[in-house]
Amino acid sequence: MKVSIVGATGYTGEELLRILAGHPQAEIIHITSESRTGAAIAGIYPHLNSFYQHTLDSLQDLDKIAAASDAVFIGLPHGHAMAAGKILAEAGVKVIDLGADYRFRDSKVYEQWYKVPHVHADAGAVYGLTELYREQVKAAAIVGNPGCYTTASILALAPLVKRGLIELNSVIIDAKSGVSGAGRGLSLNSHFTEMFENLKAYNVGGHRHTPEIEQALTDFAGQPLTISFTPHLIPMARGILSTCYASLKAGVTPEAVDEAFQALYGGEYFVRLLGRGAYPATKQTRGSNFCDLGWHIDERTGRVIVLSAIDNLVKGAAGQAVQNFNVMFGLDERTGLLQAPLYP
């Protein structure tokens, strides 16, 4: 398949290029950047030297890109992807958006949290958390790739919600991310001297991944629910550890919790069930498309605690996008994604 990447110079665009360099069924045709148009991608990311000789095109050439592509990955800031996605979809090109523009079925929720009008509300986009929405992704023309915190947290909680094992008003998510999740742009908050030997929460009670998590968990609960979500930045480049708490319903046994995870993910390649009592760690998923899950039953408080570890740039972004690409084109969804995690 002929593939293009719109917005290729951010960390997720770079990670897409790294992964697709080893994909046997994907040929990169166009890559774009409005700020670096005409520059060689290997000059911006020297580690891609010998893999790509491409120079960066402009979005002004979107019609040309559409005509040459079977699929386009969009790595633009929120508010910008939907205009490009509308043109690409009308040209019959499959679209995978790594931003937020196509993640919400209700455009009003998007507009409330992202503060911009949605210009492609009738897109019929599918939410691309592959393990949970695979059948919809197969038939999709546009996929909204999930956020990084959301991937880790939804995968952790979906089995419990689906089986009705927890009190829906009790969900608390405490998640910690490497600084690459903030993007490549310069910011005081991600400055080395601000982050080194530091750990801090941000956007408490107001992070934009909150309604995304609630949307997916509502699907599996069959009724609306509200969560408490607190994200943190930690002084490392990549990785997310999401610790999710919920109160178990009366009479729910540890074995019922074990069975819920096995029933939903027992046949999934990219979700590794480490089991009850396990401690997933970010380094064990670094550079890979795996999500590692472990869970604990606190009998004293009646709570279940689920630990979820992913690489935010791979399973939380580019890797999951390639997984969705594979599903959309009828390929083995592991194609191009069989890299073992980097350790140590």
Residue 174, exposed/middle/buried by CB under 10 A (0-12, 13-18, 19+)?
middle
The answer to whether 148 is a known catalytic residue is yes
**DSSP per-residue codes, 51-71:** T--PBPB-GGGHHHHHHH-SE
Which has the closest alpha carbon to 29: 66, 59, 60?
Answer: 66
Cis-peptide, bond into residue 344, ω within 30° of zero: yes
Alpha-carbon dihedral of residues 86, 127, 10, 209, nearest 10 degrees?
120
Report how far residue 177's alpha carbon sits from residue 140's, in angstroms, rounded to the nearest whole number: 30
The residue annotated as part of the active site, out of 6, 28, 84, 148, is 148
Cα–Cα distance, 118 to 128 (Å, whole number): 19
> Amino acid identity, residue 115?
K
CA 343, CA 258: separation in Å to the nearest integer?
Answer: 28
Euclidean distance between CA atoms 201 and 168, whole angstroms? 24
CA-CA distance, 185 to 189, in Å (whole number)?
Answer: 11
CB-based contact 341:282 (threshold 8 Å) = no
Q: For residue 26, what are the CA distances in angstroms to 6, 51, 247? A: 15, 13, 45
Question: Would you please indicate which residues are annotated as catalytic (active-site) residues?
Answer: 148
